[in-house]
Amino acid sequence: MKRILVVANDFPYPPTHGAAIDMWARILILTKMGYSVDLLASVREMPDEDRMQAVREHVGNLWVVPRRCGLRSILSLVPFQVRSRIDLQNVALGEHYDAALLEAEYVAAFLHNPAARHTKLILRIHNEQIGYFRELAEGSDNLLKKLYYYSESFKFRSFSPKVRRKCDYLWFISDSERKDYVRRNPQNDRKSSFLPTHVDSSTLRPFSASGRKVIFIGSLTITHNTDAVAWYIEKVHPLLRDLDGYSFDIAGRTAGQPIPELKHLIEPYHNVSLTENPVTLDSIYASAAVFVNPVIRGAGFKVKLIQALQEGMPVVTTSMGVEGTGFKDSIHLLVADTAQEFADCVRKLLIEPNLAESLVRNAQAFLTERYDMKTNMKKTLSEILSMSN
């Protein structure tokens, strides 16, 4: 049996935010395909035993490594997101792997682990880190955060190309980012593949929205998401207050971090609610009529949008929020970039269920055609593993 090690930049369970959803789906698919999968995860805070046990039911060996968050990690010439995970290089795995799947450049310290020397290395590219951190910097009002984000963007400018050269295969979550990378690095065309986040067509939920609740679900530790929520509440939400029964629900992971700014922002509104660290998302989706993705800045692929469409939710998003997905305005979802346009689109979906249902049906057909991770992985894994040492 072929052995695969997944090196995760965070603990992938429960899969309640974009990166975790993507990683957890990949682990489950690999095991269903008959591979023996081990997991090495770098975490900010240790998961509880229930979450550890849930993961152990699907993997062979599990190692969880705390990150270093001291001053030395910040001052290093290596990106902080990489340096804080440096202990990945010291974990004694004691196993031979046919392939190691690195979930983002953040786990690049694993490249110095002895287990990486004689195996095929696959890099999962969730974001183009240079642009991702630059966008965070430009969107931050906090001087220290701005300096940190610009520093990370600068450090990744030289660091990312080195990591990509060392890896045998690159799995891009965004096809537009893959195309841009290959255009600039044509010599790496053969090792670069588009691997979208997974959609299981058998689990797609039909449109069944009722009521007038609008939801946003996403990690609340990411500035892009909290900025998006703030923009919606301040600019869009007031334009919908005349709709009987309308409300807005925010849900997402906080990973133990306080979010006082967001709580202060929603405090004056009786029809805005916040759910922190939901264990499951099913009931949240089931209670809502429209999903909004009002992201106003941020590079990278938006897994939360895909998840919402899987759940049968009609979506309103900004142009930034749909980049790299392949979805088309007015065919699969509605796209709007000003507050008034965004509110008009939300209103339209709330009062025109036939339109909402049509968009969901079209989007799910597109997902079924393009977003089958199992099929996409088979195309490259057979080649990778047949060449493994």
Query: Above pLDDT 70, what percent of the chain?
Result: 97
Q: What is the pLDDT of residue 387?
A: 59
What is the spatial distance between Cα 108 and Cα 123, in angstroms, rounded to a whole number? 9
Residues 361, 332 contacting (CB under 8 angstroms)? no
Is residue 299 over pLDDT 70?
no
Classify residue 34 as left (phi > 0), alpha (psi -120 to 50) or beta: left
Average pLDDT over residues 294-314: 82
Grade residue 389 by pLDDT with cuts at 50, 70 and 90.
very low
Find the helix or strand (DSSP H, E) in which 251 lies. strand 247-252
Model confidence over 371-382: pLDDT tens digits?
Answer: 878 887 887 888
- The model carries a pTM of 0.76
What's 269's DSSP letter?
Answer: -
Average pLDDT over residues 51-73: 90
Model confidence over 312-353: pLDDT tens digits?
Answer: 999 999 998 888 788 999 999 999 999 999 999 999 999 999
| Gyration radius from the chain CA atoms | 21
Grade residue 181 by pLDDT with cuts at 50, 70 and 90.
very high
Domains of the chain: 3-198+372-386 (3.40.50.2000), 202-369 (3.40.50.2000)
Closest CA to 360 of 314, 317, 300: 314
Q: What is the pLDDT of residue 73?
A: 64
Residues 182, 159 contacting (CB under 8 angstroms)? no
What is the spatial distance between Cα 147 and Cα 131, in angstroms, rounded to a whole number? 15
Model confidence over 210-268: pLDDT tens digits?
Answer: 799 999 998 888 888 889 999 999 999 999 999 999 999 999 988 778 888 999 999 99
CB atoms within 10 A of CB 73: 18
